[in-house]
Amino acid sequence: MQITKKINDALNVQIQEELNSAYIYLAMQAKTETFNLPGISKWLNLQFQEEIHHAMKIFNFINERNGEAQLLPIPQPKATWKNAKEIFEAAYKHEQHITSCIHKLVDLARKEGDHATENMLQWFVSEQVEEETNTSTVLEQIKMAGDNKGALMMLDYGLGKRKGE
């Protein structure tokens, strides 16, 4: 069954959101490089790669359903964060935004009776629980470290141990 234009268009917007997420995480990585936080930088790079994977998952789904994947423009990300705390506050807020986008897509798929799209999106629903948990956990740990540079260095070291998918 071919995907409807309404669902196709909405999924193309979500591809844009996922690529924008990747771009944001890459900008965050670039900024943490200037802070000399290689572990956080690595963590953010892996997040960048994960967001590309998310975009491709939707891109491939559209193609499997005989739709037309279109790449929409991606805005330039902010790059003026002052520290790691500001970066993870922004990351957490952004993940909450993406969760909202996914929920709206699920609602649309239900409204349109598109069971295949709804089923595919359930993976993203679960993924967003993980994304919000991961970013909020790092944010809370950065807050606990406060002005303690040793604690931040230990956190940076630990985040650098993250493995890619």
What CATH code is carried by the domain that includes residue 147?
1.20.1260.10
Residue 49: what are its φ and ψ, rounded to 5°? -60, -40
Rounded Cα distance, 76 and 66, in Å: 31
Position 155 in a domain: yes
In this predicted structure, what is the pLDDT of residue 148? 95
Q: Is residue 39 part of a domain?
A: yes
- Is residue 9 a part of any domain in this protein? yes
Tell which residue, 130, 44, 23, has the closest CA to residue 87: 44
Does some domain include residue 164?
no
In which domain, by residue range, is 114 found? Answer: 5-73+81-159
Structural domain includes residue 165: no
Is 23 domain-assigned?
yes
19 contacts: CB under 8 Å, gap ≥ 6: 51, 52, 55, 71, 74
Does residue 32 fall inside a structural domain?
yes
Question: Please, what are the averages of pLDDT over each run of 10 residues along the chain (165 residues)?
Answer: 94 98 98 97 97 98 97 95 98 98 98 97 98 98 96 96 82
pTM exceeds 0.75 for this model:
yes
Number of structural domains, the chain? 1
**Is the distance from CB of 14 to CB of 58 less than 8 angstroms?**
yes
pLDDT at residue 163, rounded to an integer:
87
